[in-house]
Amino acid sequence: MKTECFYVSYTKGYKPGGSNLTYGRENIVAPIVVLPTFEEEVVDAYEFGLKADLAGGRTRINSAFFFYNYEGLQYQATDPELFQGGVSNIPESEIYGAEVELSTYLTDSMILDANLSWIETEITADHFALDNVQSDIATNALLAQGVNQFSDQVQSCALNHNEREELKNSNFQPIVYGGVF
């Protein structure tokens, strides 16, 4: 029986544009950030990875590397005008990273799970467009929103102990004890 699988994937995704019910209006405080309509989003998604069972099935490793190339990435924007917001677009952006997960039986009732993920994001097309209106809108959106802050690396580790105990002379179903340490 084969215990590993290498894979490569390409997907083209599409999300239609639409309209915002609560959009901004130009005022003295700040120019409009959220427009009445927003554009479509298109993504080219590439992924390759490995899924493998080792040590006679007692250890499993899954890993993936991915790259997403977005045009018109849709994001939730807030207009400086109170209670005005909606969806807006980032012209071009890239997201890439990797994920690895390991699960192994240390004993028949103890499992070690470990995970690691890494991600990088980049806006690749400048918001300073030739069209001054679009340039102002995009620039103000970024200034008002700020850049979303995510940790570029996340790790986790868990040790689980599960034991099954049958209760004799009882109408109760068997109980499974477990926990994370």
Q: Any idea where the domains of the chain sit in the sequence?
A: 4-177
Both tokens assigned to 119: 């991600």
pTM to 2 decimals?
A: 0.70
- Choose among 34, 1, 40: nearest CA to 18: 40
Token output for 153: 């690396």
pLDDT values of the chain reduced to their tens digit, one per residue, 181 residues: 678 999 999 999 999 999 988 776 666 555 566 788 899 999 999 999 999 999 999 999 999 999 999 999 888 887 666 777 788 888 888 999 999 999 999 998 899 999 999 998 888 876 545 455 555 566 565 555 544 555 678 889 999 888 776 666 656 555 555 555 4
d(CA 25, CA 137): 11
